[in-house]
Structure 1
Amino acid sequence: MLGAVDLPQALVERLLDRWPVARLATLGREGPHQVPVVFARSGALLWLPVDGKPKGSAELARVRHVRSESRVSLLLDHYEEDWRCLWWLRVVGAARVVEPAGERGDAELEAAVAALRAKYPQYLSVAVLREPATLIRVEPVRVRSWCAGEEALARALVLLEARP
């Protein structure tokens, strides 16, 4: 039996491309803040939309926090009762708020929106960019991972194959 190890790079890339949800950690005046987010990878960057779904306030805490502190962390993970199948992947990055203000022709932004629509079919009917349009762009600085062993690697592959 293989002991605890890092996830192989090829699996890290597949998880970043296909895993449906991550937890975004930011830091604000009131302390640490975590929230589940959807995201898509486009090139070397990760993109988090602030979309048209109803929200509780005009500007989300994650947006306020990124404006004042660019260091963020994204955590992808899998838990189940069989602890041999556990794994996590953490991306520490430099984030910035992108507000394209209705501009078209920005290739980087268009690629990000296309990646979000490809990963989340819901964005074919829900606006990816609400008014005012806002995305959080994360440039990974460090990627760390862990898995419990062979069973975790196999389970991650099974879960990825089950994704549309």
Structure 2
Amino acid sequence: MPKMTGDEARRRFAGERAVTLATTDGAGCPHLVPVTFALSGDAVVFAVDHKPKRSQRLKRLANIAADPSVCLLADFYDEDWERLWWTRADGTARVLPPPAESAESASYAELLVAKYSRQYGDRPPQGPVVEITVERWTGWRAA
């Protein structure tokens, strides 16, 4: 089973539109949620945006405060199993203030708007921004 190089894993990851974020709470219970994202070097960023949510007190943000170690997964499934692959980014997350309160967050929000111009063009993310410093890119492909 072919492993990917870190560069190939990063390249495939970058090409995805959404990935799955894995966090854990203070008791070590896992929590998975899909997120849209952008890359800035070896940092993955996402923001709390206008998509409907049950609450603005998001578990992913509380979990990052409790344990900043996170994992992001991009995967591709096909009935032709020779085409299967997955790639993972392991890193440390930090929650930044909303773009209106931080130049760093504003620059990350601009990256998100550039990637998701149709979705964010007239409604850029206004909530907290999460920056994940990726410490390891890994992956696997069937062929």
Is the shorter-chain TM-score for this pair beyond 0.5, marking a shared fold? yes
RMSD of aligned alpha carbons: 1.8
User: What corresponds to 2:22 in structure 1?
Assistant: 25
Equivalent residue for 1:117, pick from 105, 113, 117: 113
* CA shift in 2, pair 1:12/1:101, >3 Å: closer
Check the 8 A contact 1:75/1:88 in 2, yes or no: yes
The normalised TM-score by structure 2 is 0.88
- What stretches of structure 2 of length at least 5 have no aligned partner? none
Check the 8 A contact 2:99/2:105 in 1, yes or no: no
Alpha-carbon distance between aligned partners in 1 of 2:40 and 2:100, rounded to the nearest angstrom:
20
Read off the aligned partner of 2:114 and give its amino acid letter: A
Q: Which has the larger radius of gyration?
A: 1
Please state how far the C-alpha of 1:60 moved relative to its aligned partner.
0.8
Task: Give the number of aligned pairs.
Answer: 141
User: What corresponds to 2:55 in structure 1?
Assistant: 57
Read off the aligned partner of 1:82 and give its amino acid letter: D
Structure 1 counterpart SS, 2:111: helix
User: What corresponds to 1:14 in structure 2?
Assistant: 11
The normalised TM-score by structure 1 is 0.78
- What stretches of structure 1 of length at least 5 have no aligned partner? 150-164
User: What corresponds to 1:94 in structure 2?
Assistant: 92
Q: C-alpha offsets along residues 18-57 of structure 1, whole Å, 9 cap, x if unaligned? A: 2101000000137111011111001221101111222101
* CA shift in 2, pair 1:148/1:59, >3 Å: same
* CA shift in 2, pair 1:10/1:31, >3 Å: closer
Alpha-carbon distance between aligned partners in 2 of 1:49 and 1:16, rounded to the nearest angstrom:
18
Alpha-carbon distance between aligned partners in 1 of 2:56 and 2:110, rounded to the nearest angstrom:
26
